Amino acid sequence: MNKLFSFLIILVMILQIIRPIGLPGFRRRGDFWKLAIVAMVVFGLDVLLRPH
């Protein structure tokens, strides 16, 4: 699941650079870094909430 999510985030970041998504906060091409921040937070939550 983590690998799939990583691939999807990278794909969305590439699409954001090519053509902005248009959502609030993601209207410019340079906003792709915000997606990286969201991905890091989600991965952090995944590590914290994953049952061991």
Q: What is the 3-state secondary structure (H, E, C) of 1-48?
A: CHHHHHHHHHHHHHHHHHCCCCCCCCCCHHHHHHHHHHHHHHHHHHHH
Round the average pLDDT of the chain to a whole number and report it: 86
CB 40 within 8 A of CB 48: no
Mind listing the pLDDT tens digit for each residue in 11-29?
A: 998 988 898 888 888 888 8
- Residue 1 pLDDT more than 70? no
